[in-house]
Every structure is written in structure tokens, then in C-alpha cells.
Structure 1
Amino acid sequence: MVLHAVPPTVPRLLTDRSTSEPDREALVVDGVGALTFGSWQRRATGLAERLRQRRVAPGDRVGLRFGAAEWLDFAVAYVAVQRLGAVAVPVSGDAAPAEVAHALADCAATGLVHGGGAPGWTGGWTHATADGDDDTGDGADLSTSDGLAQILYTSGTTARPKGVAATHANVTYGAGARHRPFRHSRHLLHAFSIGTNAAQVMLMTALLAHPAVVTLPQFTPLRFARAITRWSAGTVFVVPAMAMELLAVADGHDLSSVRLLGSAAAPLPGPVAARLAAAFPNATIVNYYTSTEAAPAQTAMTYDPERPDSVGRPIAGGGLRVTDEDGRPCAPGEIGAVWMRSPAPPRTYVGDTTTSGATFQDGWVRMGDVGYVDDDGFLFLVERDGDLVKTGAHRVSTLQVEAAIHEHPEVADAAVVGLPHEVLGVELAAVIVVSGGAALTPPALRAFLAGRLAPHEIPSLVHVVDKLPRNRGGKVDKRSLRRSLT
């Protein structure tokens, strides 16, 4: 691995890898095609030249809209834009037109690079990546370590999506390691949506890690399970919603190749982690916790039956603190606001001065969650900031209630929200998805919870649905859920 005196840029990492391993596969879309490091470099250089002819300049923000089947084109466009010193703004190919328009207008994008199936953007120029020849060009790489590399938009589960800007030094943090990660794997499998922080991590993993990174043109649990077997995947990354669906089809598939199963984007309920450990007999189950704003700061937790609901402790030199309303550190077990920091240059909001100060403070990033640490420094999340449910005289963590519901063998998925109540102020409502063919009734669920939760923690309302509303990052859209119940 090439060691850099200063933090490398994303295009520089690709140049290094394409020079040392030009014929090695970097990215694969199952059933669609693959990119070697050499072809990735040639295509990115060629597209950069075509964008340069369209007067894309350093500092320009350029939207990238691609669907899941177009991951290879997305990877090419991502590096091509950055070679010009411009800023990549990924959005999902299935994002609503209003969502795309908001992102591009909010960051003052110059234009949009898109795949063959995406509609053009009428606010500027458009250009689709070429599927054909590896075009070459001799233009210089204008990317710099302190220059912006990307702008990602938050999921918008609690407010309007915000643009989060990251420099190359932030995105490539840790690239100087002497050993390539995940050396136990020849292939790493994931199904994260383009435009999410988890997807960007997978793109950087393709540049830095030992295995080829494989994704699917469309996630279904059955196809994902088959892909694990077909590729003998040693490393697998999912979001909790995918993990729950995967468990339903795990029987009958050879999952013995998996040595590491990582869950990201949302807390992994302890009961789900336990079932994953049983379904993947050779795998270590790891829960990762971060945010678009805080990355690369994160905690990691190897599943521990003694602490099934913890999201772990900081890794890679990061920091963690929990503070009260006055900003003072909380004692172990005391609930407060969760903050994290990383040695990497911090991220920032784009053009948002009203909330930046509340989120970014002296290198610390407020995670938007409330939680506590135990005596050993393990972090436990309680709820989204400002969303802790107070019913009657009691404060209730919906995450803890959800974890108890997930212990029921007939529950495939669950979410708990607070709804207005004339006497209590707020009452708890559980929305559940039951396993195929099960007939779990609300009284039966409440009876099951009676031995696991305090009376005020047991939902008074239970609704059974076919599927929970989730955003592309895999998080339950609780605002939408509340609207559907009121």
C-alpha cells in the first residue's frame, strides 16, 4: 500500500491502486458487470475530460443520480468529478423529483451527471456516463486534501434534509494503514443505497480494502442470500431492516463463508443480533453507530449477550461523550445528549448557519440521539433527541420497547411511537410486522411484554401492518408512521 505524507484525495487513491493492481476487480454489480481498478481509472479520466469540456471547474457542485444497478457508472462519475477539483453530490436514482431538486438547488449545483434511466434536470446541463469504451484524457488531477470531496444529504427523518460537506481528508481518513482491511474476504457484499453515508463508506472500502466490493441491482432477501453463497462472501454489510428480512430466508442457504456481518445506519436490536449469530455460525456480528454528520467517527459493538442493546465504544481514535442540558458531562447511567468526534477534519452543513452551531462544536458532533454510557464506557441509545416519549409521569425509550417486542419469535419487524392522548398526554403505539402465517394478536403481544417491561412501557395500541415505512438509509420513518396512525 502506498503511504502518503499528507492525506490523499479520492482520485489519488484510485491512481495508486490502478498503478499497483490494474487488473484486480474493485467493484461488482451482481449479474450486471464489474470494474477493475485499471478500467475505473481510465473511465474516470475520460469522463473528467468530457466534463472539463463542459466547463466544470474546481469548487463546482455536481449532482450524481444513479440507480442501484448503475453502481459502476456512479463510481466512475464520483471520481471523475473530483479529478476536476469539483464536489460530488450523490442522490439516489429512485429519489423523488422534489427531493432531487431540493438537493441540487440547496448546494447550488452546476449540473447533473446521471445514468441511462434517470431523467434530466432542467435547472442546468445533463450528461449521462458512457457505457462503452474506456476513454482517456491527459488532464491534470486537480483534487486537494483540504478541498471538498462530497456533499451528502441527510435522511430527513426528523427535519428537512441537510447537505453535509466533507473534505477529501475526511473521506479518506485512515487510508495510510499498512494493511488492507477485510483480508479474510475475497468478496464483500452489501446493498446500501447510493446517496447514503453507508454507500460512500462502501465506495471507499472498494478503494482501500482487500476484497472486491459486490452489490445488487435490487435488494431482495432471497437474492441477497443467494449472492452470499455464490460469491462465498467473507464480509457482509446490511442495515437492520435488511437483516430482519434476511433472517426469514436464511434456512436452506449456505452462509458459512461469512466471517464478519456488520450492521449500520440504525441500531440493531439485541434479539435480532442474537438470531443473526445463530443463522451465520462462523460470523462475528458487529453493530456500527455513526451519522452522516459525524463520520468517520463511530462506535462498534461485537454482539455480547451481556450487553445486547449497546452500540459499543469509540474506535479508530474517536471520542464519545454524553452531556446534560447545560453541556456538562453526564455520570454513567445518566441520560443525555450523545456527542462524538474523530481525529479527521470535521464535516459541516452546507449554507445552514442556524443549526450548524448546535450540531458542530469544537470538533464534537451532536448525534441527534439521547443515551447513556455504562461504567465501562459502552454506549446505549434511548431515543432520537427531542423524541423521547413521556407518557403520564414516565419517560419511555421506544428503542428499549422495540427491543423487547423483537424478542417475540413471531415478530419480523417493529416500531414504537407516541401518539396524543387526552389524559396521559402521550400513549405508546406499537406497529409490528408478523412472520409469514403467524396470527399474533395485540392481547397476546401485551401479555408477552408483561414479563419484560414495566406497565407504563407496554404499548396500549398495537397495529399489525405488512411493512414499516423506511427511508433509503434503512431507518423507520416515524413521522410518516405517526401520520398514518392519527
Structure 2
Amino acid sequence: MSPGTVPQMLALRAEQDPGKEAVIVEGVASMTFGEWDRRSDDVAHGLLDRGVRQGDRIGLLFGSRDWVDFAVAYCAAQKAGAVAVPLSDRLAPAEVRHMLEHCSASGLLCGRDLTPPEGDRWSAAVADLEGGTAGPPGVRVEPGDLAQILYTSGTTGLPKGVGASHANLAFGCETRPNRRRFGHSRHLLHAFPIGTNAGQTMLMNALDARPAMLTLGRFTPGRLARLIESRRVGTVFVVPAMAIEFLNAGLHERHDMSSVLLLGSAASALPPAVAARLAGAFPNATIANYYTSTEAAPAQTIMIFDPSRPGALGRPAFGGALRITDAHGDPLPPGETGEVWMRSPTATRFYYRDEQAGAEAFRGGWVRMGDIGRLDTEGYLHLVDRESDVVKSGAFKVSTLQVEAALHEHEAVAEAAVLGVPHPVLGSVLAAAVVLRSAGTSGGDLRVFLMDRLAGHELPERVLVVDALPRNQSGKVVKRELRGLFEAAATGQTEGT
């Protein structure tokens, strides 16, 4: 039987593997399961001594070098009966204040080198609360209790707080040592920021999976390559932006990547051309797309990259389910395009203090993904686009993902992002921003390249060459900032117009 709460997950692991490394920040710090359990007990007592009570929200503001202290603080808050609210140091101070105020956080635990935002709540480093009473704090925590509030990336508006119970987070935890996930690997390497859904998934893996969770203080392609080679890492998780940067740096040609047996991509779909390049760069690895959302987790699809089915994102895993519906919520048959819904195999999450938005996103155990897609006859999901990104150009609806995938097929394109820009007759037309691997290719050259791959209404009217794409902390392109680049470019002077 699976543990019902996160503290129970940690207690079980500390009992089974007290001296085994659980979390490693390369070159900074590491921690065993026994240390994780003892330190979080200690900090939980410190929180209780500061007046923290059952159900209080505790902000956790940490940077990527502080994964060890963050893991301690996360479990300590829950052992004290409080709700953990993970935040990233990559957020602007105003964003942090908004999140803390929205959830009415009573206090804030910070990384050692971070300055907390101004406010009337107390703040402390993990070390400030250690050194007190030993042993478990004795607070009763139930599976149905609220365990975590995680804020969305806010790519389409203000971030929303997504609440998850202990039952949701602990779902599927494996108690048998010989059945733990990723058994082929001694280390599970990632570079996801704290405060993201991908990062929280890695934290749950640290508690539940066989390999130790290994991470970088700061991601660079060189650091990733050197760490894979020196540690002989078997499992690696990235977001597409990291994968693209790694491939474009060519480091797989100078470092031994043969130890990697699983390379997983999260946060957004890998363009098929990028997945194919990864398969060549990691000769022994299975390349897999993981599709979920902060709202839908732990429901997800997992798809091993298949050149014969390059656009597929997989079928439901771990007891979840998928359906495609029309605008009224009625299911559509295979092959028809509509809204993507995913059903959680356990207690669903919810929007904290936003019932109106929650009513639109959560219905009877189903979660609206905010994506447009279709299911094929074998049940595989094919993603068309984000619902908010589909471009209505004249009589046509155009998938920006399809255009981006075609651009990635050009050997000179390092990165690409497509969006709709206003047009006086058609309403909107396609515009593309590209980062090139080297100079010498024009926007006009790229439009000619696309003519053999896309229909006329799918061709970008404008192609803008940029040094970098604006991205948020999760590695997703922030299209409202990208739109500003096109607005700033003089009409008729943009390359490729």
C-alpha cells in the first residue's frame, strides 16, 4: 500500500535507505535520506515554535543552488501541518509578493543568499530553524489535507495557484525497493527550476525513485555534458529549450553520452526534428516526451519518440485517461480536432481561491489542458497547438506548432517561435522569430524552404531573426514579449517581410 502523505514517503525512505544519497547539487551540497528526515523534523519544530499552525501557508523561496535546503523546508512545512508554497528566485519581486499575498502566507523560508520581499510576514533561512527539538513533531497529517500550492507560469495571464493534496502528490509511490522507478540508473539528472511543476515532479522522484536526484547549480550545456560524462548518468530530464541549446553547442560530439539510457522532455512538446537529433546525440537513450500540466498532475502521457509517428505525444499512463471534446464539452470521435481533457487517476488538483476559473478547468475528475489536439484510432494524442496560440487567418485556423516544427527542419535554425500578428484584411497572419546557428540565412530563404512543407496560409508573412527568444523560468517562450519584438520592428523593414 502506498504512503498517503509526503512525510510518510520520506519516513519510509529514511527507514529503508538512511545512508543513501537522496539529493545532490553538484559541487554545492548533498543529503542522505536519513539527514533529510532528521533535518526536516528539526525545521518543523522551528516552524511550530514560530506559531505555524495546521493549514498555514509557508512560502519557500529558493534558487537552484539551494535544492538541498529547499527539500528540507518543503517536507518540514508539511510535517508541521502547513502547506508548502514553492517559489523560484527567478521570479521578479513583484511576482513573489503577489503569490505570497494571494495565498495569505504566514511566513517565508528563503535560500541563504536571497533577500526576501518586503511584507509583514516573518522570513528565515532553513539554518535559522535548526538546532532545536529532535524527533518527529507529532502533527497529524491526513492524505486529504492540502499539501502544496504551486503557481502556474502565467504565460496567458496572472499566475494561478494550483492546490494539491497529499493524496495527489503521493499517488503511485512505490514502497518495494526492487520496484522503484528508473531502476536502470544511479543518478537522475535534471536542471529544472524550483517552483515549477517539472521541478516538483523531480522532488517527488527524489523521494520515490531508485536513483539519487542530481541537479546543477546553474544550467549550461557544458556543465550538463561534463556531469553526464563524469557521473555516468543513466536518466536525464530536460525541457526542449535546454535540449536545443545542448544540441546546438555540439557538446555530444566531444563528450561521452553513452551512459544515458532515458532522456525525457517535459514542460512542452519536443519538435520532431529536435527529437530526431537527440536520438543521434544519445545513441543508447530512449527519447521520451512527457505531457501533463500543473493542473493535471499526476495524470500524464508518455511517448517514446517514434519516427513513424513523429507528432504523437503518447497515450495515458498510470491510470489516467484522455478525451477530445467540442466547445460544449461533448466527446469527439478519433481523428477530429477539439479541446484536450485529461482525467487524473487520483484526487484532482484545484485553483486556490479562484472558483470561477476552477469551474472552467476542473469537471468531474477531468482537467482541461488548454490545448487543441486529436486522438488517432490507436488512442495516441496529437497536439495541434495551445488553445490561446491558434492563429485565425482569414478562413483558416493555423497551428503555430506545425509551423515551428517545419522551421526546425532547416539546418540553419537553432530555435523558432511562431505567433499571429494583426493584418488589416485577414485579421491575423503568421509571424516567425528565429535564432540562427550561423549567419548567412535570411528570412526570405526560410520562407522559400517552407513553401514545400506548408500550405500557403501557413507560411509566415514576417520572419524576424533575433539573438534569443524570450522565455520564462520553465523554458517556455513568452509570446506576449515576442509580440513586442514584432511591434517594435518597423513595418516593411523586418527581414523576410
1:8 Cα shift?
2.0
1:177 Cα shift?
5.7
CA distance in 1, matches of 2:484, 2:379: 37
State the AA in 2 paired with 1:237: F
CA distance in 2, matches of 1:136, 1:32: 27
1:157 Cα shift?
0.4
Q: Please give the per-residue CA displacement for 1:170-212, whole angstroms capped at 9, x wherever unaligned.
A: 0011014641000100011000000001111100101111101
Partner of 1:200: 200
Partner of 1:354: 356
CA contact (8 A) 1:45 1:135 kept: no
SS in 2 for 1:250: helix
SS in 2 for 1:480: helix
Of 137, 150, 175, the residue aligned with 2:148 is 150
In the alignment, structure 1 residue 482 sits paired with structure 2 residue 483 = yes
State the AA in 1 paired with 2:142: T
State the AA in 2 paired with 1:449: L
In the alignment, structure 1 residue 125 sits paired with structure 2 residue 122 = yes
Partner of 1:9: 5
Taking a change above 3 Å as real, the CA distance of residues 177 and 11 of structure 1, as seen in their structure-2 partners, is closer
CA contact (8 A) 1:268 1:309 kept: no
In the alignment, structure 1 residue 366 sits paired with structure 2 residue 362 = no
Taking a change above 3 Å as real, the CA distance of residues 313 and 407 of structure 1, as seen in their structure-2 partners, is same
SS in 2 for 1:52: helix
In the alignment, structure 1 residue 457 sits paired with structure 2 residue 458 = yes
1:134 Cα shift?
6.7
SS in 2 for 1:222: helix
CA distance in 1, matches of 2:339, 2:328: 10
CA contact (8 A) 2:168 2:298 kept: yes
Runs of 4+ in 1 over 6 A off after TM superposition: 131-134
Taking a change above 3 Å as real, the CA distance of residues 254 and 132 of structure 1, as seen in their structure-2 partners, is farther
State the AA in 2 paired with 1:194: I
SS in 1 for 2:120: coil
- 1:177-326 mapped onto 2 (5 Å cutoff): 178=176, 179-248=179-248, 249-326=251-328
TM-score with structure 2 length normalisation? 0.95
State the AA in 2 paired with 1:166: A
Partner of 1:413: 415
Taking a change above 3 Å as real, the CA distance of residues 262 and 457 of structure 1, as seen in their structure-2 partners, is same
1:275 Cα shift?
0.3
Of 154, 163, 166, the residue aligned with 1:165 is 163
Gaps of 5+ in 1: none
SS in 2 for 1:312: strand
Taking a change above 3 Å as real, the CA distance of residues 135 and 283 of structure 1, as seen in their structure-2 partners, is farther
CA distance in 1, matches of 2:403, 2:234: 33
Q: Please give the per-residue CA displacement for 1:307-344, whole angstroms capped at 9, x wherever unaligned.
A: 11211111111000000112211122211110001211
CA contact (8 A) 1:155 1:473 kept: yes
Q: Which moved more, 1:188-197 or 1:301-310?
A: 301-310
CA distance in 2, matches of 1:223, 1:371: 36
Of 415, 423, 428, the residue aligned with 2:425 is 423
CA distance in 1, matches of 2:440, 2:352: 48
State the AA in 2 paired with 1:319: A
CA contact (8 A) 1:240 1:264 kept: yes
Superposition CA RMSD, Å: 1.3
State the AA in 2 paired with 1:347: R
TM-score with structure 1 length normalisation? 0.97
SS in 1 for 2:246: helix
State the AA in 2 paired with 1:406: H
State the AA in 2 paired with 1:189: L
SS in 2 for 1:311: strand
CA distance in 1, matches of 2:134, 2:19: 20
In the alignment, structure 1 residue 21 sits paired with structure 2 residue 23 = no
- Percent of counterpart pairs with the same letter? 56
CA distance in 1, matches of 2:133, 2:453: 63
Q: Please give the per-residue CA displacement for 1:212-246, whole angstroms capped at 9, x wherever unaligned.
A: 11000001111111111111110000000000011
CA contact (8 A) 2:174 2:180 kept: no
Gaps of 5+ in 2: 488-497
Taking a change above 3 Å as real, the CA distance of residues 132 and 168 of structure 1, as seen in their structure-2 partners, is closer
State the AA in 1 paired with 2:90: D
CA contact (8 A) 2:344 2:367 kept: no
Taking a change above 3 Å as real, the CA distance of residues 134 and 221 of structure 1, as seen in their structure-2 partners, is farther
CA contact (8 A) 1:233 1:258 kept: yes
CA distance in 2, matches of 1:327, 1:96: 37
CA contact (8 A) 2:301 2:317 kept: yes
Taking a change above 3 Å as real, the CA distance of residues 94 and 386 of structure 1, as seen in their structure-2 partners, is closer
CA distance in 1, matches of 2:175, 2:329: 35
CA contact (8 A) 1:87 1:150 kept: yes
In the alignment, structure 1 residue 66 sits paired with structure 2 residue 68 = no
CA contact (8 A) 1:181 1:210 kept: yes
1:161 Cα shift?
0.3
Partner of 1:111: 107
Partner of 2:50: 54
* Equivalenced residues, count: 481
Taking a change above 3 Å as real, the CA distance of residues 171 and 105 of structure 1, as seen in their structure-2 partners, is same
CA contact (8 A) 1:85 1:144 kept: no
